[in-house]
Amino acid sequence: MTKATGTGNAPSKEGAPGDSYAPLDSAHFREAMSRIVTAVHILTTDGAAGRLGATVSAVCSVSDDPCSILVCVNRSSRVHAAILKNRVFCVNTLQPNHQALSDAFAGRGNLDMDARFAMAEWTPLATGCPGLKDASLSVDCEVFSVSEMGTHSVIIGTVADVRMSDEGRSLVYIRRGYHSVSK
């Protein structure tokens, strides 16, 4: 274990813990968060606002009754506005051979949305959202609720469809790099 490097966010000695914290440096926070292993997903939507997608990592289950998940999406992104208008989304969990696809949907290479979708085979799921044909997992959802936190929205969706592959490997991201995890 290495020694912690503080950034001045310790509680004030006066008052209850948490009453007064110095602002946390956002660059330091991003570096800390880069150490959390996350699965890599492509978030898709389709409907009146169009077919769009983006690479995301902040996804988790919420409940199995009703079946629901959440995804955190930057409010300034095009996919955010489209999800709010379309009221549906699909989380596609990537396999290790999807690194280039992840990069494309993250905006690297400046491809337009049609070119990004053309890089892989997609099939419409129950809501009409694009499901990546060879994803480890595709979770198709209808928007249930949206709440805002800082620059992002936390979007909770009720699950309409789930597709899983038998492939046992997943693409993960840690310390700003891709890695593969096997079962």
Give average pLDDT by consecutive 10-residue segment, the chain, 183 residues: 47 54 87 91 98 97 98 97 98 97 96 98 98 97 97 98 87 90 83
Instruction: Confirm whether 35 is domain-assigned.
Output: no
What pairing do the DSSP bridges indicate for beta strands 41-45 and 122-124? unpaired
Which residues have a Cβ under 8 Å from the Cβ of 4 and sit 6 or more positions away? none
Please report whether residue 65 resides in a domain: no
Question: From the CB of residue 104, how many other CB atoms can be counted at a distance below 10 Å?
Answer: 23
Type of residue found at 125: L
Decide if 129 is inside a domain.
yes
* 82: containing domain: 40-58+78-144+161-182
In a domain, 83, yes or no: yes
Residue 111 placed within a domain: yes
117 part of a folded domain: yes
Task: CATH number of the domain at 97, please.
Answer: 2.30.110.10
Dihedral angle over CA of 6, 12, 17, 20, nearest 10: -100
Per-residue model confidence (pLDDT) at position 49: 98
Q: How many domains does the chain have?
A: 1
Neighbouring residues of 87: CB distance < 8 A, sequence distance ≥ 6: 47, 142, 143
Q: Distance (Å, rounded) from C-alpha 105 to C-alpha 169?
A: 20
Q: Is the pTM of this model over 0.95?
A: no
Q: Is residue 126 part of a domain?
A: yes
Residue 131 lies in a domain: yes
